A and B are shown apart, each in its own frame.
Chain A
Amino acid sequence: MHGISPQQFAGSVASFLWPYYLALAAMNGIFAYYLWQKSENRPFFSLPTPGFAFRFTPALLWTIVAIVYVFLASLAIGAHLESMPQVPQGFRDFVNASSKATIYSLGTTAVLVVLYLFRSWFVRPMVAWSIWNLMLLFLGLSMPDPNFFSIVAKPDNVPIVALVFLLAFFTWLAAYRAVENDRRMDEGLPPVEKLDDEKVLVWPDLVYTEMICMIALSAVLIFWAIWLQAPLEEPASSVKTPNPSKAPWYFLGLQEMLVYYDPWMAGVVLPSLIIVGLMAIPYIDFNKQGNGYYTIRERRFAYITFQLGFLELWVTLIVLGTLLRGPNWNFFGPYEYWDAHKVEALTNVNMSEYFWQYWLHRSLPTAPPNSTWSTQLGYILLREAPGIILVLGYFIMLPPLMAVTVLRRYYQRMGFIRYMVLANLLLFMAALPIKMVLRWTINLKYLIAIPEYFLNF
């Protein structure tokens, strides 16, 4: 933190942390109470102690966790950084040293895959609640780190932190219900939603729910507004460029794509395709099942594709772009100081250079000086031929190829036009991770590089 003294910093951390830990304590306390009220509070184990049986139940576990949080809150309230519990320095150094855009992207992908494959274990309330607690605890323990704090507590970044937790919660909720429904349907039972078929009057049932929602939400907004002041920096100046210059957070996924694609792709073509692709979903998803209830098994392809697009390519890129990209759009670990002088060696190579120079050991084809416009174009096309062939092959050859192989069933059910829309959308979506991997593995800059016509792909 710059411009404020360590005491002030400790003070602002403490003023966040102690209410935070108390809220977590309350959350666990309420959960424990709820479990205790329910009959199915089966003990993890019982100790046959003399006199009475000591039963270690979930309710007891979460009560203990709640007490630990109260203890953490009491440590934080003193506003002494030394006494605040925090993640060990060694761990922070390790995370900083090992985090890179590659590790981050592959890591989040791996996590999502594992969560998906073992979803019936992860959605179990005890497991999910433990993970939930660990996520929140991790945030709390990281806050005393000045670098972490200065990124996460930046007023305009608070919504993203909220988004991550909300998405974790709602993804759990949906998956929990889907797993339950899938199990029921295996047993020949209808989905749980079917059980609530009975009709109720909107007044009072819905109208009151809405009113309570509105009051709760107003309260949240008012507290948020009092607690956190809206940011206002220095007056605008066209000469002082901030470093990094970032778009609003919800567009940072697109800004992150700029690392891999030129603006015409990352800023215009891909966003337009996202909108078009979203609109096309109802017309290309011909699966009649899974309408009006949570399920994964009955619409596995749609589910996986959407989650890949939304959670992986949209949300994790936003998190990366907002929290982990610092000056010069360099990657910084979560506990790393945003050093404007950090240099990252960039030696990216174009496909044409690979082809002509590295493999054929020749110079790039260049038009003779003073040649006509069309000769020049011819030379450009020759120079970029390898990339052009690859890209055209990708977009022209793959759809029919997939139609007779992996997506055969889809092609037969969908007809030509709908199938082509689906296939092309999928290919464009896959183009981003493919380009990422090419960049990480062979430092590929552009498959097609025609700066003469501003056409780099």
Chain B
Amino acid sequence: MARLGEIIYESQIWKSIFRHPMPVDRRNRIVVMLTNFFLHLHPVSIKKQGIALSYTWCMGGVTFFLFLVETVTGVLLMFYYRPTLEWAYNDILALRDIYSLGIMREIHRWGAHAMVITVWLHMYRVFLTGSYKPPREFNWVIGVILLLLTLLLSFTGYLLPWDQLAVWAITVGSNMARATPILGHEGPGHQFLTLGYPMITSGTDARFALLGARNVGEETLNRFYILHCIAIPLAVSLLLAIHFWRVRKDGGISGPL
């Protein structure tokens, strides 16, 4: 066994992938952090309290992990799901009753709920440790945008099963947009936007822009699908990269001065 390990670790293939020996001694434990793409997100060494679970609750990390889980299970679900009125519901039914990968839907859904909770807890801990104070103000702002995007991810995904629960939850949620001041056709002040004829109607207002139609329908499904699977995840990925980079640049996890 030991010899086999040696053969593998000494092989050209292994060495070409991992650019360092096994991290068993101090030197290589430092090298591994610097030369491995995935690990170089981290610093080489860190204050003990920065990794104390009772301090960080690990909630930022957990949220990130859940985001990855959602990405993987989401891609698998996309293989089986077509965002059209004809197929959406039936594809979900088939995921439940036929496909053996159907459990992905459960993982994806509960993971999404869990992610909303863990983002809140992460924000809660960042607040309670005062970690938004200088120099970390802007990372908090990025965090708030991430929080909003997480909620929107969850909200857009909620529609996709196209069952009663989904459609009415989105209807109730998006009805609010009707009342947007000035821009909603039932919002205060929309009458002032006129060009001789009213500019803001149920066919031109903020809600219409969100739904792509006067009611939650096929256009909405398409819109939410694209937002859910492409637009928002891309935005989140970009902001996460900045978020993590800023954690490092702002001096690592906060601590007493």
Contacts and interface: CB of A to CB of B under 8 A. Distances in A.
Contacts of B62: 213, 217
B75 interface: no
B56 to A, nearest CB: 10
B69 interface: yes
A446 to B, nearest CB: 12
Q: Which of B30, B47, B138, B179 has the most CB of A within 10 A?
A: B179
B247 interface: no
A386 interface: no
Contacts of A264: 179-181, 184, 187-188
Interface stretch (B2-10, B11-19, B153-161, B231-239): B153-161
A372 B130 CA distance: 57
Contact of A241 (B43, B49, B123, B168): B168
Contacts of B117: 159, 162-163, 166
B26 A201 contact: yes
B89 A236 contact: yes
Contact of B176 (A163, A197, A266): A266
A293 B111 contact: no
Given A213-B62, A454-B188, A292 B130 contact: yes
B98 interface: no
B256 A201 contact: no
B148 to A, nearest CB: 6
B257 A250 contact: no
Interface string A181-224: 00000000011011111111111111101100110011001101
Nearest to B66: A217
A240 B186 contact: no
Contact of B148 (A197, A275, A453): A275
A289 B134 CA distance: 11
B209 interface: no
B23 interface: yes
A409 interface: no
Interface in A272-309: 275, 278-279, 281-283, 285, 287-295, 299, 302-303, 306
B96 interface: yes
A455 B188 contact: yes
B176 A268 contact: yes
A228 interface: yes
A230 interface: yes
A371 interface: no
A421 B82 CA distance: 46
Interface stretch (A83-91, A105-113, A169-177, A434-442): A169-177
B48 A200 contact: yes
A209 B179 contact: no
A346 interface: no
Given A193-B255, A263-B178, A264-B187, A201 B111 contact: no
A203 B18 CA distance: 15
Given A230-B106, A234-B163, A202 B140 contact: no
Nearest to A299: B130
A232 B163 contact: yes
Contacts of A295: 130
B45 A201 contact: yes
Nearest to B159: A236
B106 A268 contact: no
Contacts of B254: 291-292
A7 to B, nearest CB: 25
A163 B58 CA distance: 16
B58 A209 contact: yes
A233 interface: yes
A248 interface: yes
A293 B92 CA distance: 47
Contacts of B165: 156, 231-233, 242
Given A156-B165, A213-B62, A197 B131 contact: no
B129 A240 contact: no
Given A235-B162, A282-B137, A230 B256 contact: no
B113 A213 contact: no
A200 B45 contact: yes
Contacts of A194: 255-256
29 contacts: A167-B124, A170-B124, A174-B125, A191-B256, A196-B55, A198-B47, A199-B45, A200-B47, A200-B51, A201-B44, A202-B44, A202-B45, A204-B23, A207-B39, A209-B53, A221-B69, A230-B96, A233-B165, A234-B164, A245-B172, A264-B180, A268-B179, A268-B180, A282-B132, A289-B130, A292-B129, A293-B256, A450-B188, A454-B186
Interface of B: 23, 26, 29-30, 32-33, 39, 42-49, 51-55, 57-58, 61-62, 65-66, 69, 89, 92-93, 96, 103, 105-107, 109-111, 113-114, 116-117, 120-121, 123-125, 127-134, 136-138, 140-141, 144, 147-148, 151, 154-155, 158, 161-169, 171-173, 175-181, 184, 186-191, 215, 254-257
Closest 8 CB pairs of A and B: A267-B176, A225-B106, A282-B137, A196-B49, A263-B179, A455-B188, A196-B48, A159-B113
